[in-house]
Chain A
Amino acid sequence: MSLAAIINLNHPASYAHWHFFEMSVPNLIVIALMIIVFALAIVLPFPGSRRRRGQS
């Protein structure tokens, strides 16, 4: 059975380059994921928070 990764990461990273800005695509993906998770953490309701708010 092959244990190869679903995405082949065994090669040098690609780079995004725009004027002075240069960053590897993996780093860009991680930063984008952090922004998405940060936004979701603020927007998504926390379990039980509505019930607690209703009690007060």
Chain B
Amino acid sequence: MSGGRNWTVRLREAGVKAMPPERLLPDGQPAYMSSWIYTFGVLTIAALVVIIASGTILGLKGPAWWHYTGVGHFFNSIHLWSVELFFFFMVIHLWGKFFMASWRGGRAKTWISGAISFLIAIAAAFTGYVSQQNFDSQWIATQAKDGLNSTGIGAFFNVLNFGQMYTYHVLLLPVVVVALVSAHILLVRRSGIVPPLPLPELGLGASVAEQPGASAAESAA
């Protein structure tokens, strides 16, 4: 039997072609990445890992656990503050990438996947706030109901339905966020880290294409 006709072989070859191992896990980074502003993407991912880990523990014990145990309150606080840090780092990452026009060099999909991740993460955080099972969550849910109904999107879900919102929060939206963030990271690895905007008057930016990790578009330029 010919191996080339096997769908698993074709899938593997397509995967290796789309994402060569040396780009997926590089052993060097461009020198222009020696700036703190390039660390906020990975800080966002680190916060997401803590969110998923603490959320898993909270999910195992149930949504009311944090109300009556100190340990539950501790993990709920870890979950809340990791979300705060997630958005804190993600917004700074967004500002940094916006001001260096990171969609350059064929990186439009990377930019769009990051933007959609941000929007879905807001929905994930919102469903978390309405899953707290306290007066705060009831207040947020009733206010949000009016706001969402005024746009018409409230026809598709009911933010006062705790079971529905809890399922969105612990399963549906986290799956979408993790999938989008994974795609975002793979696209970053495939296209390379965006170089700084060229500053020809300072003699900077000309040798960026020579750096390891720079995309094929920059290397060809």
Interface string of A33-53 (1 = CB under 8 A from B): 110011011101010110011
Interface pair B36/A41, CB less than 8 Å apart: yes
Q: Which of B31, B39, B91 contacts A34 (CB 8 A)?
A: B91
Nearest chain B CB to A32's CB is how many angstroms away? 12
Interface pair A42/B37, CB less than 8 Å apart: yes
A38 to B91, CA, bound (A): 9
Q: Which of B31, B39, B95, B96 contacts A53 (CB 8 A)?
A: B31
Query: Is the C-beta of B34 less than 8 angstroms from some C-beta in chain A?
Result: yes
A40 to B95, CA, bound (A): 13
A44 to B35, CA, bound (A): 8
Total CB contacts across the A-B interface at under 8 A: 38
Interface pair B34/A49, CB less than 8 Å apart: yes
A43, closest chain B residue (CB): B36
Interface string of B92-107 (1 = CB under 8 A from A): 1001100000000000
A30 to B83, CA, bound (A): 13
* A56 neighbours in B (Cβ, 8 Å): 31
B70, closest chain A residue (CB): A3
Query: Is the C-beta of B65 less than 8 angstroms from some C-beta in chain A?
Result: no
Nearest chain A CB to B70's CB is how many angstroms away? 10
Q: Which 10 A-B pairs have the closest CB atoms?
A: A49-B34, A41-B36, A46-B34, A41-B37, A38-B92, A46-B35, A38-B95, A52-B31, A34-B91, A42-B37
